[in-house]
């Protein structure tokens, strides 16, 4: 198989040359890191990924140290966009894990830059510290968005309820209902409406269309990438008269004792009235009652209304990472 020469004793090869069996030990080490760093049991995602790898449908690269697999990266295509799903390296004898990952990212970015069908690349590098690859993402065609991985210890008395915001009941004209699959379309419409002009729609362009918001929802509810969806701890806020959805909180199980909030949004005209807090209270209260120890979520650092709400609720920063967007059309003209 043809290999691309790079500095040091590292070989970077096409991911599709490798079987799931060859990549499994690396992915299992990565799952251990997800667990230790983010309290996230990544094994369901690992198994799904291994199935895709076995069918050789993922594009990406593998790093080899004297023939031994020591890193990988892959991307998936969504129309004109590519998402770098992961980059991970460990165990090269002379090169640091970060440098091996940098080599892999350099290769996948080069490949995508030269893919005429791709005009946009997105990635959220959750396992790495913000700024770790600042040198790679320095060009004007990149935009980098620092994001926070937050955690709230549900057993801590301060978490429920917060000292400075009085607990609130649902107002008479609204009702709080558990998620049902019938909510799909209306939930996607609400997500789309909530993210118009929002920074998160710069990071993830699925938010910019109804079709994209449906895909986003589908990924959360049906696939294990964001944990196993928990319908019992996912709530819709509905206007009793118009029947319109005006708020929602969605959560998933990411470890036996840890949940992750995958979506929280309130219709623009109802913000600042405590409904975000109400949804958080209901979700966290249910999780606590069911024996969960902690709940986590990610938020864009510049999203002040959300970050403030989470901080007041009792969330604290566990990790700071980067989301990147690459506009590949800017240097092809």
Ligand X SMILES: CC(C)(COP(=O)(O)OP(=O)(O)OC[C@H]1O[C@@H](n2cnc3c(N)ncnc32)[C@H](O)[C@@H]1OP(=O)(O)O)[C@@H](O)C(=O)NCCC(=O)NCCS
- Where on the chain is the footprint of ligand X (CB under 6 A)? 165, 194, 198, 264-266, 271-277, 299, 303, 305-306, 308-309, 312
CA gap 70, 88 in Å, rounded: 9
CA gap 280, 248 in Å, rounded: 10
Nearest approach, Cβ of 65 to ligand X (angstroms)?
39
Q: By C-alpha distance, which of 283, 230, 236, 234 is closest to 255?
A: 230
Residue 135 or 164: which CB sits closer to ligand X? 164
Nearest approach, Cβ of 214 to ligand X (angstroms)?
17
Determine how many CB atoms are found less than 10 A away from the CB of residue 98.
12
The phi-psi region of residue 25 (left if phi > 0; otherwise alpha if psi is between -120 and 50; otherwise beta) is alpha
Residue 63 or 309: which CB sits closer to ligand X? 309
Residue 75 or 264: which CB sits closer to ligand X? 264
CA gap 274, 245 in Å, rounded: 16
Nearest approach, Cβ of 272 to ligand X (angstroms)?
4
Strands 81-89 and 245-255: unpaired
Residue 115 or 170: which CB sits closer to ligand X? 170
CA gap 316, 324 in Å, rounded: 23
Q: Which helix (H) or strand (E) holds 247?
A: strand 245-255
Residue sitting closest to ligand X (CB)? 276
CA gap 236, 198 in Å, rounded: 21
CA gap 34, 226 in Å, rounded: 12
CA gap 235, 249 in Å, rounded: 5
Nearest approach, Cβ of 299 to ligand X (angstroms)?
4
Nearest approach, Cβ of 195 to ligand X (angstroms)?
6
Nearest approach, Cβ of 228 to ligand X (angstroms)?
20
Nearest approach, Cβ of 264 to ligand X (angstroms)?
5
What is the CA angle 5-28-39, rounded to 5? 120
Instruction: Let me know: does 63 contact 89? Beta carbons within 8 Å.
Output: yes
Instruction: Let me know: does 152 contact 284? Beta carbons within 8 Å.
Output: yes
Residue 106 or 199: which CB sits closer to ligand X? 199
Could you tell me how many residues make up the chain?
333
Burial of 155 (0-12, 13-18, 19+ CB in 10 A): exposed
Nearest approach, Cβ of 328 to ligand X (angstroms)?
27
> Three-class SS of residue 215?
helix
Residue 13 or 279: which CB sits closer to ligand X? 279
Nearest approach, Cβ of 216 to ligand X (angstroms)?
12
Residue 44 or 270: which CB sits closer to ligand X? 270
Residue 236 or 265: which CB sits closer to ligand X? 265
Residue 39 or 282: which CB sits closer to ligand X? 282
Which residue has tokens 């002379």? 94
């Amino acid at each position: 198989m043809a290999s691309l020469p790079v500095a040091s004793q590292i070989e970077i090869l096409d991911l599709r040359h490798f079987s799931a069996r060859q990549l499994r030990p690396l992915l299992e080490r990565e799952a251990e890191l997800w667990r230790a760093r983010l309290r996230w049991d990544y094994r369901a995602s690992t198994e799904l990924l291994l199935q895709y790898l076995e069918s050789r449908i993922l594009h990406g690269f593998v790093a080899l140290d004297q023939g031994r697999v020591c890193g990988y990266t892959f991307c998936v295509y969504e129309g004109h966009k590519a998402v770098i799903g992961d980059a991970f390296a460990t165990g090269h004898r002379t090169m640091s894990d970060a440098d091996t990952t940098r080599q892999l990212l350099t290769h996948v970015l080069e490949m995508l830059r030269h893919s005429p069908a791709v005009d946009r690349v997105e990635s959220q590098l959750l396992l790495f510290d913000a700024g770790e690859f600042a040198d790679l993402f320095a060009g004007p065609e990149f935009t980098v968005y620092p994001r926070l991985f937050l955690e709230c210890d549900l057993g801590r008395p301060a978490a429920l309820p917060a000292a400075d915001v009085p607990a609130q009941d649902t107002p008479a004209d609204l009702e709080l209902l558990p998620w049902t699959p019938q909510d799909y379309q209306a939930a996607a419409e609400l997500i789309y409406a909530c993210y118009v002009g929002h920074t998160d729609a710069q990071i993830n362009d699925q938010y910019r269309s109804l079709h994209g918001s449906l895909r986003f929802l589908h990924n959360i509810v049906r696939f294990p990438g964001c944990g196993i969806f928990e319908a019992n701890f996912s709530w819709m806020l509905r206007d009793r008269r118009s029947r319109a959805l005006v708020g929602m909180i969605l959560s998933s199980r990411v470890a036996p004792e840890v949940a992750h909030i995958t979506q929280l949004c309130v219709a623009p005209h109802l913000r600042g009235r405590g409904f975000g807090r109400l949804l958080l209270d209901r979700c966290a209260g249910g999780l606590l009652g069911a024996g969960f120890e902690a709940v986590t979520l990610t938020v864009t650092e510049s999203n002040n209304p959300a970050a403030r709400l989470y901080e007041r609720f009792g969330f604290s920063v566990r990790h700071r990472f980067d989301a990147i967007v690459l506009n590949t059309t800017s240097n092809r003209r």
